[in-house]
Amino acid sequence: MKAILDKQRTFFDEGQTRSIPFRIDSLQRLREAIVAYESRIFDALQRDLNKSTFDAYVSEVGPCLAEIRHMTRNLKEWAGPKRLGGSLLFPLSNASVVCEPLGQTLIICPWNYPFRLSIMPLIASLAAGNCTILKPSEVSVHTEKVIADMIGEYIDDTIITVVRGGPEVCSELLSEKFDHILYTGNEHVAKIVATAAARHLTPVTLELGGKCPCIVDKNCDLAKTAKRITWGKFVNAGQTCVAPDHLFVDKNLKHELIDEIKTAVTTFYGSDPRQSEDYGRIINERHFDRVTGLLNEGELLYGGERDRETLYVAPTLMQHCPEDARISNEEIFGPILPIVEFDEVSEAIAAVNQKPKPLALYIFSQDKSFQQEIVTQTSSGAVCINDANVHLSRADLPFGGVGNSGHGRYHGKAGFETFSNKKSIFRQTSLFDIPKRYPPSDAVGLRMIRQLIK
Once rounded to an integer, what is the mean pLDDT over residues 134-153?
A: 98
Structural domain includes residue 433: no
Q: What is the pTM of this model?
A: 0.95
- What is the residue type of 321? C
Q: Which pLDDT tens digit goes with each residue over 11-30?
A: 999 999 999 999 999 999 99
Whether residues 252 and 328 fall in one domain? yes
CA distance 305 to 442: 83
144 CB neighbour count, 10 Å cutoff:
24
pLDDT at position 444 over 90: no
Residues 34, 168, single domain; the answer is yes
Alpha carbon 24 to its chain centroid, in Å, reads 23
At 441 the pLDDT is 87
- Would you say residue 262 has pLDDT above 90? yes
Q: Do 275 and 180 share a domain, yes or no?
A: no
Q: Which amino acid is it at 169?
A: V
pLDDT of residue 87: 82
Q: Is the same domain home to 382 and 406? A: no
3-state DSSP of the chain: CHHHHHHHHHHHHCCHHHCHHHHHHHHHHHHHHHHHCHHHHHHHHHHHHCCCHHHHHHHHHHHHHHHHHHHHHHHHHHHCCEEEECCCCCCCCEEEEEEEECCEEEEECCCCCCCHHHHHHHHHHHHCCCEEEEECCCCCHHHHHHHHHHHHHHCCCCCEEECCCCHHHHHHHHCCCCCEEEEECCHHHHHHHHHHHHCCCCCEEEECCCCCEEEECCCCCHHHHHHHHHHHHHHHHHCCCCCCCEEEEECCCHHHHHHHHHHHHHHHHCCCHHHCCCCCCCCCHHHHHHHHHHHHCCEEEECCCEECCCCEECCEEEECCCCCCHHHHCCCCCCEEEEEEECCHHHHHHHHHCCCCCCCEEEECCCHHHHHHHHHHCCCCCEEECCCCHHHHCCCCCECCCHHHEECCECHHHHHHHCEEEEEEEECCCCCCCCCCCCCCCHHHHHHHHHHHC
Query: Same structural domain for residues 257 and 345?
Result: yes
In a domain, 451, yes or no: no
pLDDT digits (tens, 9 = 90+) for 62-103: 999 999 999 999 999 999 999 997 788 888 889 999 999 999
Q: Return mean pLDDT, the chain.
A: 96
At 189 the pLDDT is: 95
The pLDDT, as a whole number, for residue 451 is 82
Residue 447 lies in a domain: no
Q: What is the dihedral of CA 77, 408, 351, 300, to 10 degrees?
A: 90
Residue 207 falls in the annotated catalytic set: yes
User: What does the pLDDT read at residue 297?
Assistant: 96
Q: Which percentage of the chain shows pLDDT scores above 70?
A: 100
pLDDT-derived band of residue 346, with 50, 70 and 90 as boundaries? very high
Residues 408 and 302 in one domain: no
- For position 22, what pLDDT does the model report? 97
Q: What is the CATH number of the domain that holds 69?
A: 3.40.605.10
Tell me how far apart the terminal alpha carbons of the chain are, to the nearest angstrom.
54
Neighbours of 324 (CB within 10 A): 8
Could you say which of 60, 67, 144, 207 is catalytic? 207
The answer to whether residue 357 scores a pLDDT higher than 90 is yes
Q: Which domain holds residue 179?
A: 2-208+402-423
pLDDT of residue 90: 84
Q: Is residue 439 part of a domain?
A: no
- Which of 241, 331, 341, 384 is catalytic? The answer is 241
Domain assignment present for 441: no
Domain limit, last residue, from 349, 374, 393: 393
Report whether 205 contacts 408 (CB < 8 A): yes
What is the pLDDT, as a whole number, of residue 452? 79
User: Which pLDDT belongs to residue 453?
Assistant: 80
Q: Is residue 137 over pLDDT 90?
A: yes
One domain, residues 33 and 78: yes
Instruction: Categorize the per-residue pLDDT at 222 as very low, low, confident or very high, splitting at 50, 70 and 90.
Output: very high
Give the count of domains, the chain. Answer: 2
- Give pLDDT, residue 155: 97
CATH of the domain at 284: 3.40.309.10
Which residues, 6+ apart, have CB-to-CB distance to 131 below 8 Å?
Answer: 8, 9, 11, 12, 17, 103, 104, 105, 158, 159, 160
Rounded to an integer, the average pLDDT of 343-354 is: 97
Q: Report, as an integer, the average pLDDT of 144-173.
A: 97
Same domain, 192 and 268: no
297-328 pLDDT tens trace: 999 999 999 999 999 999 999 999 999 999 99
The pLDDT score that the predictor gives to residue 438 is 86
Among 340, 371, 393, where does a domain finish? 393
Question: Are 339 and 228 members of one domain?
Answer: yes
Cis, peptide link before residue 440, omega less than 30° from 0: yes
Q: What are the tens digits of pLDDT across the range 381-421?
A: 999 999 999 999 999 999 999 999 999 999 999 999 999 99
Query: Is the same domain home to 382 and 407?
Result: no
Same domain, 156 and 51: yes
CA distance 243 to 17: 37
**CA-derived radius of gyration, the chain:** 25
Are residue 199 and residue 265 in the same domain, yes or no? no
Query: What local confidence, expressed as pLDDT, does residue 224 receive?
Result: 98
Instruction: Give dist(CA 52, CA 45) in Å, integer.
Output: 8
Q: Is position 438 within any domain? A: no
Task: Determine whether 138 is an active site residue.
Answer: no
Is residue 453 included in any domain, yes or no?
Answer: no
pLDDT of 1 strictly over 90: no
Q: Does 446 map to a domain?
A: no
What pLDDT is stored for residue 445 in this prediction? 85
